[in-house]
Structure 1
Amino acid sequence: MAETRGVLLPAYVVADESASMGPYYQDLSGGLAALCNGLRAEPMIAAKVRLAILGFSDDVQLRQGLSDMRMVERLPQLAVRGATNYGAAFADLLQRIPHDVQMLKNDGYKVHRPVAFFLSDGQPTDGRHWHDPHRMLVDRNTQPFAPNIIACGIGSARADTMLQVATRQEFAFVALPSADIGRAIAEFFHALTASLVASGRAMADGNPTLVVNRPEQFRLAIDEV
């Protein structure tokens, strides 16, 4: 039997690229660069994580396939375009995650349950049509690689929607009403980096745990009434 090469955590950043994000493009780009550089600065931790970047709008664009950030030379770039089609994002993950996990397994790795960090500044423009692909994505009875989803809403994204997207109530966050949107985006990426570093460190210590940090300028969605 072939020796296991290690244990990995596949992580997906699913970022809203709709037109309403236009004023915050620099914040998105800066946050994404900080995430990538933060993982590069922790090579022992980065070895435990494989990172993919997806931008969603009318459709999904792969900005970076699942990668070892120690080996990535060019930073991924997001764009600003179109509407806010949640269904496209979840349908893409439904197809992408099983393929990625199987690829890692074929390469000799053990794989922890994937995690997706979802960021949106608005309500879904596809109404309730996103519910079916989301339900199929997170159903562990039929989808063995169903991910944990951490959902963060800014701008006009509502708390009840983030609660529906997240796979656990404590994984759903919304920006404080007083929050500056640009700063909230930066804090999202800061918390995401800290979560991946802490989760990778726990894996390296032999105590695999998904660590989810609440971003500054956000509160738990469940707290909003």
Structure 2
Amino acid sequence: MALTLAQRNQLRKRAAQEAAAAAPAASMAGATSYELQLAELHQHRHRLKQIQSTEGKIELKRQLVPQYAPYIDGVLSAGVGAQDEVLSTLMIWRFDIADWAGALAIARYVLQHGLAMPDRFARTPGTLIAEEIAEAALKALKLDQPFELAVLEQAEELTREQDMPDEVRAKLHLAIGRCHLTAADVHAKAVEAGQNVEAERFHVEGHVQTAHSHVLRAIELHENCGGKKDLERATRLLKKHAPAPAEA
């Protein structure tokens, strides 16, 4: 049953109080709000196990995730880093439903306080955050669908100091590079159409240069990351859109 606005506010406040009182690196176990949410999470995970379709699971998660928002908001606003299975699981669920802003808000807290993932997850938090976003972006770009560059850049900033397999970090750099190449194409079309040419050419150069550095870094990390054609394309575009030499 959906909570009323008053009940949601009460849950958020109680979660904030209990999260603030829990010792860093300890556990939220025993806190009333946490135990209630954990019990609900176990029930929802059981429902998810009854669904075979990945799309069906995602749709159910999309319906369930908002129910945890008051608890999540409370913990994020006042928590000091106690281990929290509800929080880490909901980060994954928000990734699954493409709630990038919501997932990254939890991700920042998880990494800042060194929270562990539940035992059923094999990847470390940093690896999981980088890979989930990189793979979602690469899939979208492959289908000619947009993906927000800011999400990729935030993921890279958050996980920059995290230990992870080189192949995973390469995916993230490749995704950023391809996203910049897509942005460069948009501005290049404006140049060809004669729209605000100087400004648009400036944007093309910036995106292509950034794309080149990210794709090159991806290949350095993992030679078979699939970025060689992207690097060739970025190199061609750099030459094509290089500023004309000044006349003597």
Higher Cα Rg, which structure: 2
Category of TM-score, reference length = shorter chain: under 0.3
Task: Determine which structure has greater relative contact order: mean sequence separation of CA pairs < 8 Å that are 6+ residues apart, divided by chain length.
Answer: 1
- Larger relative strand fraction: 1
